[in-house]
Each structure stands twice: as structure tokens, then as C-alpha cells.
Amino acid sequence: MVTIATDTVKFSYGSAPVLYNVTFRLETGAILALVGPNGSGKTTLIRCIDRILHPEGSILINEQNIHTMSRNDIATTIGYVPQNGTKIAAATVFDVVMMGRTPHMSWRLGDGDIDRIEYAIQLLGIEDLAERDYNELSGGQQQKVLIARAIAQDPKILLLDEPTNSLDIHHQLEALATISDISRSTGMTVVMAVHDLSIAARYADMLMMLKNGTIVAIGKPEELITPERIREVYNVDARILYDPEAGLIVAPLRAVPGVAL
Amino acid sequence: MKQVFSILIVLILATGIIICPVQGSDDYSTEARQLLATGILDHLQGGGPGLVMLRDAATLYPDYPRLITDTAGTKFTFYRPVERVVVMHANAAESIIAIGGDDRIVGVGSTIKTNTLQFPGLSRLPDVGRWTEPDIEAILALNPDLILTYVTWPEPEKLERHLPSRIPVIRMEYYKVEVFREEIEKTGRIFSEEEHCADYLAWYDEYLAIVEDRIGSIPCEERVRVYAESGSGQSFGRRTYSEGTGLHDLLVAAGGVNVASGHTTGYADVENEWVMHQNPDVILIWSGKAGYKLGERNDIIQLYEEIMGTPGFGSIEAVKNDRVYIVTSGFAFGTGSPAALVQVAKWLYPDRFEEINTEEIHAEYLERFTRTGAEIREQGTFYYPDGREI
Amino acid sequence: MSETTIRSGYAKRTHTRILIIGGLFALLILLTGVAATLGSYSISVIEVFETILGGRGADSDISTIVWNYRLPRILMGILAGAALGLAGAMMQGILRNPLASPFTLGIASAASFGASLAIILGAGFAAGGSLIIGNAFLFTLIAAAAVYGLAQIRGITPETMIMAGIAIMYLFSALTSFLQYLGDSEDVNAVVFWMFGSLGRSTWETVSVVAILVGALFPLFLLSARSLNTLSAGDEAAKSLGVPVEQIRIGGMAGASLLTAGVICFTGTIGFIGLVAPHITRMILGGDHRFLLPGTAVVGALVLLGADSIGRTIMAPQILPVGIMTAFLGVPFFIFLFLSRRRNYW
């Protein structure tokens, strides 16, 4: 069980503020989905929690302020899967997953490290790609490799930025099932930014809805996702459906005109 | 009408030429007559040097016009002696002084300008820029009737292109042995200083003859083997001078055999061990330091000591027998070179030049053919060892 | 692919890489032996090795040639090649840029300027040996500090460092050209020669200075190998994986600058190795810096020593400048590898 707590977190890129007074406290071993329209601050919040960005206010992980932690301590606590797109020079899939061991390994790659790399590669089902050049893979394959890297990192909290962005529906389901399995079996806390509300509702235990850099609501998916709130946050008329297997489904109907993003 | 008028003048001039020999002694050379006739014909066709030039040549200067072909192969016709000369480089300035034409110099290149001890008079004249980068405006402001510069520098693009065609640009080297004597003779004719020129060439020929006389009979296998280099051992390493360099020509003229001959041409970087392997009898170093610049004697001595102290060189004959010599560029090339030739020949074959006092030859050169003062004669280091203490 | 093949695949690759590095190292030792017997003074292979092993009189010519000239030159070739290769690999790693080398960041042009200043305006080249070395070293550090200072204003990223480096490079190149314009032809010749690079000035003193530098920095570079690997995934990913990105970048820059300065102040600018040795190695060994760094050191040494050995013999007794020979030798090899590789190596 880990706790993530923020207190009046504010962040701006130059003069453009992105996060205002984000304050929340999570005691969880579960999956938290950050939802909200473009520019609502989901990615920024994730990057603040991993101390890639330096916001005002405080962020506590297990009651310890991340500003007092070393880079390596943060890396052993928090894993971060960015949106893919970075070229990686002369690296095989194995090499990229091995990077996940950076905070743990000594100069030599120990047996324990290789065990963990193998585990991560198998978990994502990318054994066949292990010797391939990372840059030659499809976007979806690269995304899986990056998730495997974060798994190899063995963190207590896993941050994912749009993890299913470039995956087709088959691979979306696979990847999310994997993440959800890991979270259930190891108690790893997962925080992921997700666009698709139906996906968020299906896999997340908790939702945090953001708009214009502030928290609109936190709660269980079925409590949070209502047509009124979707209209409030997204300016979209939507119908909420329910399928016995797929669970809650958000069917967007039309954009409400006249409201600038 | 104008044409009739000019034909009339030309006829008068022509009559003058024809009449003159009848009046007195025949001062007009065949060459001058032909040139003048060509000039007149050109003028009739609308070209030529102009009436003023033709009249001066015809009436004032019996030896003119004169045809000069410079070392670059360009032909120039002079209708009267030059009066305002711009000199771009020090080799030319030195030669003009040697034949006594320096009173007609009106502008000098920067290397002459800054060389106050070698050119005490000329260095007070206006600066016309570097020998690679002439200052065209400064040159034009001096209204010269001749510019003297190197064969290849500055490129015509930088010089002739910007000048009116009436200003001749004569390109001569004044430091290359193979054309030196010819260039001096031509300079004598340009400046109308045939007598001084003959004096200088007599001195020049005398010492060349002495050396040739005494070394000419030495068979190849008895000639002294010389390693010639740039004296850069302390900075960028051994660099030898071979065929195609002035130092090579000097040592060959003095009866030596260059150990680099047949191995390299021009200058080439070599290893210390190659010099050890060649085991020369004499090591001859050239330096751009000292000479007409005072206060650089230590740089010259350092070159000597660098060779003497190089590890492994102790087993080279030249080092073992202390036959390591240095000549400076102010000594080895150009008008002073006969003195250097005798000096090098004496270093190579001391017993054949025993009674010749090389110091006196150089002192005579400085006295007769340069404008340098007493400080150069007393303190100048032109070669080493020169018998002076420290 | 089963569990065991991932593990054994890694073990096999590691094994192959170690074997390749070992093979390259053996090749280097062989080349050293060959180079020691090359030269105008005819000394047999046996005599050379007798001399090295102390079997000959210390004051013979052969001993002087082997100990005073050939060995320092060869060792300098090895150390300089290794140092320049390492510096290049480090620059390419910290800047994530295949074109980065000590030259891209203006370090070499600063050294050229320092040397030119000493040659043209200083005591001249006869007395100025140590002045040239000192000045070249000093200006290299000034350039590195300037690049750091400029880049820091906008944050130390590969982009800011390369921009600052290119600005510094052009500044020092222009200053050097200006000095050449002012200098007389003899000094300009010396500057040009200096910029070609040469191992001919090597002595045991200069060799030991470079040896100390390489000896001190190589372990530090190796220690950072893991971080450099992770850095190739981008600054953010590296930070999130626990790499102190800015420290590594500043430290790497300082280390690479020191190595470059320490070498080229003695040898003159030998440019090509820093760029190409890491690439050649990367094509052979892959991008893992734990193998890339030692591999680059050996490849750099091989290329430089090989180039110098050919430069000493091909037109003997004339020696061709090693900087030129390096390019003649390295470029075709580099192009061959570049064209014959299917895989993206960068």
C-alpha cells in the first residue's frame, strides 16, 4: 500500500499556467485513471509526480516529500511510461528493457536483473522482439517495450501517459489486462492518463477528472461518469450505456457548440 | 584635320630620328629605333604610348625606348627612365639598392616598411600594403610609373585588374638563383643604372667564380654530404629541404651533396632516425630569424643547440665533428648570396678556402651594396657560428 | 522464444562483445609490434624486441631510436587515439547526436586558436614549445566553459549545447583565420602544420601526461556507461529512471574536453578519430556503452596508430601528417561499414 498526496500543486510552462491548486490524497494499491479534455493537465500532473517537472506546492509519496528524495530513490519508487516517439540510438528491445534496471543494477547486469527483464518481456508478450532494433518496431510494439521497461524497473507506483494511445483495440485490451493483473497481483499503484472514458471506467478503480488544471471530481467510475458531468467537463452530450461484460460505456452524441476549448 | 596634324608631327619626329645619326655620334641603338618606329606606327593606328612618351624617347633619352621582358614573361616598353617606383617585396628592394636605384622608390610593401634596420631610408616611405594584399588606393595615390612584385604574388586579380594599363607591373623574384642574375641586369636597364649594375655583377661573378673554381674539380664521391633543414625540431619536428628549395641550391652550388636528394623534393617532414641513418658530414640549417633583425641571436644559437642535444645525434658525423651551421634568410638568398655561397663552401671544404676571409666578404657587401648602418655590421647575426662570442 | 533464450541470448551477446574487444586488443598489440619495427633506420624485428626487453646496450643508436623515438611515438598514437575516441563517444552519448565530437563543440578550434596565438603572436615556434601546449590547453578549457555557460542560460540540453558549441567553433575558427592573415608566412606554415596533427613531437613526458589523463578518466567514463545507455532514451526517460541527467552531461562534457585538450595540445588537431571511432565501434559492438567505451578506445588507438604507421612508411623518408592519414584511412572504412550494415546503428 502506498500513499500519494499533493498539496496545492501549481505549475506553469513559462507564463501559461497548467495546474492550479491540485490537492488530493490517495491511499491505494489500485488503478487511478486521470481523465479530462486536452490541456486539462493530466500529463503535466504525471510529470510533476515523477519530479520531471518542478511545481510549486508539495508532493508526498508515502509521506515523504519527493524534493527530499534522490533521483535514484524516486526511480525505485516510481516508474514512468511516457508517450512513445523518442528514437533510441543503437538499442535492441532487450537493451531498452534493461534500462529499467538502471536504478537497481550495479555496473554488471546481475542474475536478479536478468530475471526481472525476462519477467517484464514475457509479461508483455514481446519475447520474439527481444533481439530486434527498437527503432524498427511499430508504434504499438514500442509502447509495449516502454511498459516492459517500467515493469522491469519494479516500482511501487507506475505512471502511464496514454498507454494505449497507439495500440489497436486488441492490443489495448491486452496491455490494460496486463497492467491490471500486475496491479492486482503485486499491489502496485497505477496512475494513468487516459482519453477514452469507457476504457478508464472499465479498468480503473478510481477516476480523477481534471479540467483547466483543477480537479473536478474524484471517485469511483460509476459515480463519476454521468451525462451532466461529461457535458460540464467536455462540452459534449453523451449517453451512458451499460453492458454486462464491457461495463460502463460512454457514447458521445454531439459537441455542444459555441464553447471554446 | 586632327589626323593630318598628327601625321605631320609624327613625320617631324621621324625626321629627327633619321637626322640624329647624321648630326653626331650614334647614341640610338638599333633596338631603340625599332621600338620607337613600332610606337609611332601604333600611334598612327590609334594605339601606342601617346605623343608625350614618343617625344621624350625621341628627343630626351637616346637609349629609349627599351624593351624589358619580366620573369613572368610579360613584355614592357619603357619610353623613358622610371621615376616613381612602388616596390612590393623586400627581395626587390634589396636588389634595387644594390644597383643604386632606390632614390626612385616612392612606395614600399609592409615587409620593407617594418624592416627599418635593413631599409633605413625606404622604411620612411608610404606603405602600399602586404605583398599578398596590396593597398590599391595607396598605390594609385603615389602615381607610380612602375610596380615591382613577385611573379605569383599578389595575383593579377588583386593588382593589375584594379590598375590603369599605363602602369606597368613587373613581376620578378630576386631570390631564385636560376633567374637572379638576369633579373639584376634587367633591373639595371629599367632604372638606367647600367654602371652600378655592372659593379654589383662584377662582385657577384667574382665570388661565384672563386667557389666554382675551387670545388668544381671535386669528384662526386668525395663531396661532402649535407643534411639541410628548417630548424623546427623544437616546434613541429625535423623538416628537410631538398630539390626545388633555395637552401638545396645553395648547398649544391657550394659543392655539397644533399642527403635528401632522390628521397624527397621540396620540403618534407622526416624522422630523427632517418637523419641518424643518413649520417651526414654537415648539417645546414636555415632560419628566418636574426639577420637584419637584432636581438634574435639567441634563437639562432638555440637551433644549433637543439641539433647538438637531440638524443642519438651524437653519433652523426656532423655533430661529432661540430659541423652544424646556420644561415639566415637575410644572408643566404638575394643580393648578399655570394657571401653566403663562399661561407657555405668554406664550411664544407675548409682547407680549400683557408686564406679566404668570409667575414670580410660579407662586410664588403653590407658596405657597398646596402644602406645598413653600423649596428647591423657590429651586432647582426647572419650565420652561426660566426666567430663572435655569445 | 523461451525464458532461457532471452538469458542465454544476452550471455551470448556479452560473450561475443568481450571476444571482439579482446580480438581488437590483440590486433592492437600486434600492430604495436609491427609499428615498432617500422622506420628509416634499418633495425631488425629481433633487435627491436631485444632492445625493449633490455638485452642491448643502453647507449647504442638502436636503443636511442627505439626508446626515444619509436616507443613514445607509438604509445602516443595509442593513447591519443584512445583518448580522442573516448571523448567522441562521450560527446555523442551525452548529446545524443551522431555528429557530436570534440570538434563540433568548438573545442578543437579553440585549441588551434591557442596554438596559433602562441606561434604567431607569442615567442614564435623556436622557443615556444611549451607556450603552444599551454595555450592550446588553456583555450580548450575556455571554450568548454563558454559552451557550458552559454548552454546553461537556456538549460543544459543537447540542443543548447550544440548551438553554443557551433557558435564557439565559428568564433575560434574566425579568430584563427584572422591570426593567419596577420602572421608572416613562416609562422602561418607552422600553424598549418600544427593543425594537421603530428605524433612526431611525442616524448616520454607528453606520453605520461596523456597516460595519466586517460588512466584517470577512463574508469570514470566506464562508471557512467550505464547512465549513458539510459540517456539514449531521452532526458525525461533517463531522469525518471534515476539518472542525474545534468550532472552526467556536465561531467561528461568536462571529461571529454579534458581528454581532447590533453591530447591535441601535444599532437595538434587530429580531428577525425573522435567522430568516427565511436561510429565504427557502434556498428561492430552495438550501442551499449559498457562495451562501446572500451571498444572505442581500442578502435581509436588502432586507427590512429595504423594511420601513423602508414604515414611514416608510404612515402618514406617523408612523413605524412597523421591527421591527414587518419582521414584517408578512416573514411573508406567508415563508408564501407556504413553501407554494408543493414541495421540502423544510430
* CA dist C79 → B16, B82, B189, C260 (Å): 85, 63, 63, 11
Give the pLDDT score at C302.
Answer: 94
C234: left (phi over 0), alpha (psi -120 to 50) or beta: left
Q: How far apart are CA C87 and CA B344, in angstroms?
A: 50
> In this complex, do B273 and C65 lie within 8 Å of one another by their Cβ atoms?
yes
Q: Which of A50, A88, A118 sits opposite C6 (nearest CB)?
A: A118
For an interface test with C, give the residue of A71, A122, A151, A157 to mutate (most C CBs within 10 A): A71
Model confidence pLDDT, tens digit, residues A183-192? 888 888 899 9
Q: Over 80: is that where the pLDDT of B15 sits?
A: no
Residue C60: Cβ within 10 Å count:
14
C25 lies within 8 A of chain B by CB: no
The correct CATH number of C3-340 out of 3.40.50.970, 3.30.70.100, 1.10.3470.10, 3.40.190.10 is 1.10.3470.10
Contacts of A92 in chain C (CB under 8 A): 286
pLDDT interval class at A173 (50, 70, 90): confident
Longest dimension (CA), chain C: 72
Task: Name the strand (E) or helix (H) holding A112.
Answer: helix A111-123
Residue whose entry in the numeric block shows the C-alpha cell 452524441: A253
R_g of chain A, CA atoms, integer Å: 19
Q: Over 80: is that where the pLDDT of B268 sits?
A: yes
**Arithmetic mean of pLDDT, B349-358:** 88
C-alpha cell at A33: 485513471
Contacts of C268 in chain B (CB under 8 A): 236
Give the pLDDT score at C84.
Answer: 94
Q: Which residues of A touch C (CB under 8 A)?
A: 47, 50-52, 71-72, 74-76, 78-80, 82, 86, 88-92, 94-96, 98-100, 102-103, 105, 107, 109, 114, 117-118, 121-122, 127-128, 130-131, 133, 135-136, 153
Q: Minimal Cα–Cα distance from B237 to chain C, Å? A: 6
Give the pLDDT score at A259.
Answer: 55
Q: For domain B85-192, give the fold.
A: Rossmann fold (3.40.50)
pLDDT interval class at B257 (50, 70, 90): very high
> In this complex, do A75 and C241 lie within 8 Å of one another by their Cβ atoms?
yes
Q: Over 90: is that where the pLDDT of C86 sits?
A: yes
Residue in B197, B285, B293 with CA at minimum distance from that of residue B241: B285
Model confidence pLDDT, tens digit, residues C222-277? 999 989 999 988 888 888 898 988 889 889 988 998 898 888 888 888 878 888 89
pLDDT interval class at B228 (50, 70, 90): very high
pLDDT interval class at C346 (50, 70, 90): low
Query: Domain segments of chain B: what residues?
Result: 2-64, 85-192, 218-384
Residue in A195, A160, A158 with CA at minimum distance from that of residue A83: A160
Q: Minimal Cα–Cα distance from A124 to chain C, Å? A: 13
**Arithmetic mean of pLDDT, A8-26:** 84
Q: How far apart are CA A49 and CA A146, in angstroms?
A: 18
Q: Which residue of B has its CA nearest to C59?
A: B312
Q: How far apart are CA C104 and CA C175, in angstroms?
A: 17
Give the pLDDT score at B19.
Answer: 47
- Read off the amino acid at residue C300: G
> In this complex, do C40 and B232 lie within 8 Å of one another by their Cβ atoms?
no
Residue whose entry in the numeric block shows the C-alpha cell 530513490: A73
Q: How far apart are CA A225 and CA A197, in angstroms?
A: 8
Contacts of C42 in chain B (CB under 8 A): 277
Chains B and A touch (3+ CB pairs under 8 A): no
Q: How far apart are CA C184 and CA C255, in angstroms?
A: 36
C96 lies within 8 A of chain A by CB: yes
Q: Which residue of B has its CA nearest to C40?
A: B274
Lowest mean pLDDT among A214-228, B35-49, B273-287, C7-21: B35-49
DSSP label at A187?
Answer: -
Model confidence pLDDT, tens digit, residues C2-47? 456 788 888 888 899 999 999 999 999 999 989 888 888 878 888 8
Give the pLDDT score at C126.
Answer: 43
Give the pLDDT score at B24.
Answer: 41
Contacts of B236 in chain C (CB under 8 A): 125, 190, 193-194, 198, 200-201, 268
Give the pLDDT score at B1.
Answer: 57
Q: How far apart are CA C285 and CA C342, in angstroms?
A: 14
What is the pairing mode between strands B282-287 and B324-328?
A: parallel
* CA dist C31 → C319, C320, C323 (Å): 18, 19, 19
Domains belonging to chain A, first-starting first, are: 2-255 (3.40.50.300)
Q: How far apart are CA A209 and CA A221, in angstroms?
A: 10
More confident position, B315 or A258: B315
Give the pLDDT score at C58.
Answer: 61
Instruction: Compute CA A95 distance to the chain's CA centroid, rounded to the nearest angstrom.
Output: 22
Model confidence pLDDT, tens digit, residues C143-167? 888 888 888 788 778 888 888 888 9
B98's CB contacts (< 8 A; 6+ apart) are B184, B200, B335, B369, B370
* Bridge partners, B265 (sequence order): B243
Q: How far apart are CA C269 and CA C167, in angstroms?
A: 19
Q: Which residue of A has its CA nearest to C233?
A: A88
Q: Which of C1, C98, C241 sits opposite A127 (nearest CB)?
A: C1
Q: Which of B236, B312, B315 sits opposite C198 (nearest CB)?
A: B236
Residue C111: Cβ within 10 Å count:
33
Residue in B177, B202, B223 with CA at minimum distance from that of residue B352: B223
Q: How far apart are CA A82 and CA C235, in angstroms?
A: 11
What is the pairing mode between strands A206-211 and B146-149?
A: unpaired
Q: Which of A90, A94, A99 sits opposite C282 (nearest CB)?
A: A90
Residue in C263, C283, C261, C270 with CA at minimum distance from that of residue C335: C283
Q: How far apart are CA C214 and CA C79, in angstroms?
A: 7
- Read off the amino acid at residue C301: A
> In this complex, do C312 and B311 lie within 8 Å of one another by their Cβ atoms?
no
Instruction: Examine domains B85-192 and B218-384 and report if their fold is the same.
Output: yes
**φ/ψ of residue A16, rounded to 5:** -95, 110
Residue in A68, A53, A77 with CA at minimum distance from that of residue A158: A77
Model confidence pLDDT, tens digit, residues A62-82? 888 888 888 888 888 899 988
Give the pLDDT score at C306.
Answer: 92
Contacts of C346 in chain A (CB under 8 A): 89-90
Residue in C192, C201, C126, C180 with CA at minimum distance from that of residue B328: C126
Q: How far apart are CA A6 and CA A26, in angstroms?
A: 9
Residue in B303, A163, B325, B66 with CA at minimum distance from that of residue C127: B303
The correct answer on CATH 1.10.3720.10 for the domain covering B218-384 is: no
Give the pLDDT score at C59.
Answer: 63
Q: Over 80: is that where the pLDDT of B319 sits?
A: yes
Q: Which of C9, C222, C243 sits opposite A130 (nearest CB)?
A: C9
**HSE (side-chain half, CA atoms, 13 Å) at A235:** 10
Q: Which residues of B touch C (CB under 8 A)?
A: 111, 231-232, 234-238, 260, 263-264, 268-274, 276-277, 288-289, 299, 302-303, 311-312, 315
- Report whether the peptide linkage leading into residue B65 is cis, meaning its omega lies within 30 degrees of zero: yes
Average pLDDT of chain B, as a whole number: 84
Model confidence pLDDT, tens digit, residues B22-80? 444 445 577 777 777 777 777 777 777 777 777 776 677 777 778 888 888 888 888 88
> In this complex, do A80 and C226 lie within 8 Å of one another by their Cβ atoms?
no
- Read off the amino acid at residue C206: T
Contacts of C201 in chain B (CB under 8 A): 236-237
Give the pLDDT score at A244.
Answer: 86
pLDDT interval class at C125 (50, 70, 90): very low
pLDDT interval class at C342 (50, 70, 90): low
Within 102-161 of C, beta carbons closer than 8 Å to B belong to 119, 124-129, 132
Residue A253: Cβ within 10 Å count:
10
> In this complex, do A99 and C10 lie within 8 Å of one another by their Cβ atoms?
no
> In this complex, do C237 and A130 lie within 8 Å of one another by their Cβ atoms?
no
% of residues, chain A, pLDDT over 90: 9
% of residues, chain B, pLDDT over 70: 91
Q: What residue spans of chain C are helical by DSSP H?
A: 3-37, 45-52, 61-64, 71-95, 107-116, 124-127, 129-153, 158-182, 185-196, 204-223, 225-231, 235-240, 245-267, 272-285, 289-313, 322-340
What is the pairing mode between strands A16-28 and A64-65?
A: unpaired
Average pLDDT of chain C, as a whole number: 85
Model confidence pLDDT, tens digit, residues A92-111? 889 899 999 988 887 788 88
C222 lies within 8 A of chain A by CB: yes
Judge contact between C207 and C79, C-beta under 8 A. yes
Q: Minimal Cα–Cα distance from B280 to chain C, Å? A: 14
Query: Domain segments of chain C: what residues?
Result: 3-340
Instruction: Compute CA B346 distance to the chain's CA centroid, rounded to the nearest angstrom.
Output: 23
Q: Over 70: is that where the pLDDT of B11 sits?
A: no
Q: Over 90: is that where the pLDDT of C336 sits?
A: no
Longest dimension (CA), chain B: 88
* Bridge partners, B283 (sequence order): B227, B324
Q: Over 80: is that where the pLDDT of B233 sits?
A: no
Contacts of C227 in chain A (CB under 8 A): 102
C-alpha cell at A22: 491540485
Q: What angle is formed at CA C50 by the lines to CA C49 and CA C53, rounded to 5 degrees?
A: 85
Average pLDDT of chain A, as a whole number: 86
Give the pLDDT score at A133.
Answer: 86
